[in-house]
Amino acid sequence: MSPNTPATTRATTTGTPVTTTGTRVTTSVVELAALLRSELPPVLLDVRWALGDPHGRAHYAAGHIPGAVYVDLDTELAAPPSAEGGRHPLPALTDLQAAARRWGVREGRPVVVYDDLGNTAAARAWWLLRYAGVAEVTLLDGALGAWRAAGLELESGVPGAPAPGDVVLRAGGLPVTDADGAAELALTGLLLDARAAERYRGEVEPVDPRAGHIPGAVSAPTGENLTADGTFRSPEELRERFTAKGAGEAERVGVYCGSGVTAAHQIAALALAGFEATLFPGSWSAWSADPVRPAVRGGRP
């Protein structure tokens, strides 16, 4: 079995792993370059986004992988923000399908997504398309930085719209939960907090209503999924990392972050490690906006 076609592992109540075949999570730069030269190249999506940086489209125009289509995370990969849904609620399936067709996504054609931030934003598109039933969607391992490091070509400007796609999306391909479900997961399973450790501890909170973390959640910063060059750590290293957090013994694993974006990256890393995980899309932005929900500060769950 390839490292990119991991076994998806669930644990029974006794901690015994139950394994089923998973799907490919990443595509290497070498593989992508070959695919783009093939008769049927993949749909290539550029999800240039970072918290506090509204200039993703300009960054894309300045230089992107040839053939890539720009995807706006705030407007195409999320519904409008709300107190209940958080800063990046899941988009309506009809809206996501319309966007995917604008990007040129077609039935049976693979999709590769990337950003310029270690795939911490691109993973949102990866997760949404997997959730909506697109089986062949992968992350470019190392993101745009790996493409640059390989000395491969970039193009500038904003190309014309691609030929419209015909993909039909259906929800339910990946598990999701709400705030009540996240609270229950923290008590009976394993709930991972993918934010930076200082936000988990409540020492800083730059964007959301309150500082701290969900009671019972375990700190697992997304950045620790990556090596220094921005590629994912090996499946063995990731499995060791998440097993140390309790994933090997938990019956169910859930993930949240600030607004459901970098948590998707954590789910990709968990998939590489062989674990299936549930996303809490509202994440801390929704939890902290509800005054009834408790918040914990400090380094302990």
Q: Which residues are catalytic?
A: 257
**Encoded tokens for 231:** 């590629």
| 150 Cβ contact partners less than 8 Å away, ≥ 6 residues apart | 29, 30, 33
Cα atoms found within 13 Å of the Cα of residue 102, Cβ hemisphere only? 13
Residue 287 · residue 146 · CB < 8 Å:
no
Q: How far apart are CA 26 and CA 271, in angstroms?
A: 10
C-alpha to C-alpha distance for 171 and 209, rounded to whole angstroms: 30
Neighbours of 276 (CB within 10 A): 18
Q: How far apart are CA 135 and CA 185, in angstroms?
A: 27
CA-to-CA separations, 206 to 85, 199, 233, 274, in angstroms, rounded: 18, 9, 28, 33
Strands (E), the chain: 7-11, 17-21, 26-27, 43-46, 69-70, 111-114, 137-140, 190-193, 218-219, 253-256, 278-279
Taking CA 171 as the corner, what is the angle to CA 162 and CA 107, rounded to the nearest 5 degrees? 35
Contact yes or no for 254/182 (Cβ under 8 A):
yes
